[in-house]
Amino acid sequence: MTAHPETTGPADPARLDTERMHRIYRHLHANPELSMKEYATADFIEAELDDLDIAHFRCAGTGVVGVVHNGEGPVVAFRADTDALPIREETGLEYASEAVGTLDDGTEVPVMHGCGHDTHITSALTAARVLVSDLDAWSGTLVLVFQPGEETAVGARAMVDDGLWNRAPRPDVVLGQHVMSLPAGAVTVSHGAAMSMADSLKVTVYGRQAHGSQPQASVDPIVLGASIVTRLQTIVSRELDPRSPAVITCGTFHAGFKENIIPGKAEFTLNIRTFEPEVRDQVLAAVHRVITGEAAVSNAPEPLIEELYRFPQCYNDPDEAARVEAALRAGLGEDRVSEGVPDMGSEDFGELSETIDVPSVYWFFGGFDPVDGEPPSNHSPYFAPVMEPTLATGARAAITGILAYLGAGNDRSGD
C-alpha cells in the first residue's frame, strides 16, 4: 500500500473535481424534492454512482445505497440526507429553485433545499469520486447511504425497516455531517450529544360544550388547555435539574368557532427537546402527568395524547469523535476545526447506528461568508450557502472522516 504524504493525500483540494462538484450542486439545488418523494434525486445519485462503477441498490423507495469493497479493513458507512422542504426560495440565486411538490394531503407547495441537504449529497458524491480514483490510499469497505425523508423523521427508520443492514455490509461506525450557519470552511465536532432528541405530541382535551352565558353547564376546554400550557412550562423551570437542558414548546392551539359558545374540545401540539434519555423519560412522564392531572381537576374526560413523531438521539461516541476530530484537524487544518457544542435541532441520523448498536459521529460544517453579517438559519427562505469553500470543505471533511478509519497507515488493531 502506498503511503501518501499529507500534501498529496486524498483530502487535498487539488484532488476534487471542482467543476463537476459545482455542476452537481447547482443541479440538485435547482431540483429539490419533498421528503420520501426524492425520485429524480435518487435517479441522479444512481447515475453518478454508475459513472463511478459503484454497485448500488434502492432502499425505502427513494433511498440509495452504494457499496465499495476495497480489500481488508473496517466497514464505514457515510450518510447523506437527500430531501428538501416546503419553502418558497427567496435567495435570488441564479440557480434558485422554482420547483413545486405535493404534500401528502394533496396541497401543492413550493420546494427548496432550505436545509442544505444538496450540499450533503454533493459532498458525498465528490468524496466517493476521489476515493474510488485512489483505491491504493485506503482499504476496507465504504457504504454510502443516501437517505430520504430526514425532515419528516421517517427516512432512516424506513431504510432500517427495509433491511438496510441486511443488504449492505454492517458498519463498524456510521458517519454523517450537516451544513450549518457557521463560517464557510469551519468544521465543528461535539463529543457526546451532537443534537437533541425531539418528541412531538398532539393533545386533545375534551370538555362539555355549552352556551357562552352558561358556564355552569360546561367544562371549558380552553381554560383547561390554557392551564396545561402554562403548567407545562414549570416542568423545565421547577422539576428538572437546571444543568439538564430541555425545551417544551406549544406550537399550535386550536379551539372553538364562536365567541359565545364554550367549545367541546381543544387541540394543541407540543414539541419537546432533550439531550439525555433519562431526561427525556422524565419530561415525557411529567407532560403526561400535567395533562391528565389538569383534566382531572377540571372534571373533564380523559384527554387524548398522540405521538406525531420522534427524533432519536444524535450522539457522538467520545472516543470516535476524538478520532474523527484529530483526523479533521490534520486533514483540513488546525484553525478550521473546533470542538462544538450540542445543537438544539434534531436529526434521525442516530437511527442508523442505534438499531445495530454501533458508534456514530456527526459533525457540522459552515456554509456562510463570515463577513456577510448574520447568516440565515437552516429552513429560512434565504438559506444560501456560498459554494466555496463550503462544498470543498464538505467533500474534504467526508473524505477525511472516512479515511480516519479506512486510510492507509491507520492503526485499526484497537477496533
Candidate list 33, 151, 294, 343, residue with the active-site label: 151
Separation of alpha carbons 385 and 366, rounded Å: 8
At its nearest, how many Å lie between Zn ion and the CB of residue 67? 24
Shortest distance, CB of residue 180 to Zn ion, whole angstroms?
9
Rank residues 151 and 354 by Cβ distance to Zn ion and give the closer one. Answer: 151
35/139 with CB nearer Zn ion: 35
Give the C-alpha distances (Å, rounded to integers) separating 89 from 94, 96, 113: 12, 7, 8
Query: What is the smallest separation between the CB atom of 387 and Zn ion, expressed in angstroms?
Result: 18
Nearer to Zn ion, 115 or 198 (CB): 115
Closest-approach residue to Zn ion (CB): 115
Minimum distance, C-beta of residue 382 to Zn ion, in the bound complex (Å): 15
Inter-residue contact 363 to 340 (CB < 8 Å) = yes
Q: Which is nearer to Zn ion, 115 or 194 (CB)?
A: 115
Q: Is 81 a catalytic residue?
A: yes
Neighbours of 261 (CB within 10 A): 13
Give the x-and-dash track for 102-141 against Zn ion (CB under 5 A).
Answer: -------------x--------------------------
Nearer to Zn ion, 150 or 172 (CB): 150
Nearer of residues 125 and 224 to Zn ion, judged by Cβ? 125
- Whether omega for the bond prior to residue 389 falls within 30 degrees of 0, making it cis, is yes
- Distance between CA 178 and CA 326 in Å, rounded? 19
Least Cβ distance, residue 115 to Zn ion (angstroms): 3
Residue 195 binding Zn ion, by CB under 5 A: no
Binding track, positions 221-260, relative to Zn ion; x by CB under 5 A:
----------------------------------------
For the question of residue 151 being annotated catalytic, the response is: yes
The count of chain residues that interact with Zn ion, using the rule CB under 5 A, is 1
Residue 110: all three cell numbers together: 413550493
Report, in Å, the least distance between residue 378 CB and Zn ion: 5
- The active-site residue, picked from 38, 48, 81, 343, is 81
By annotation, the residues acting in catalysis are 81, 151
The residues binding Zn ion (CB under 5 A) are: 115
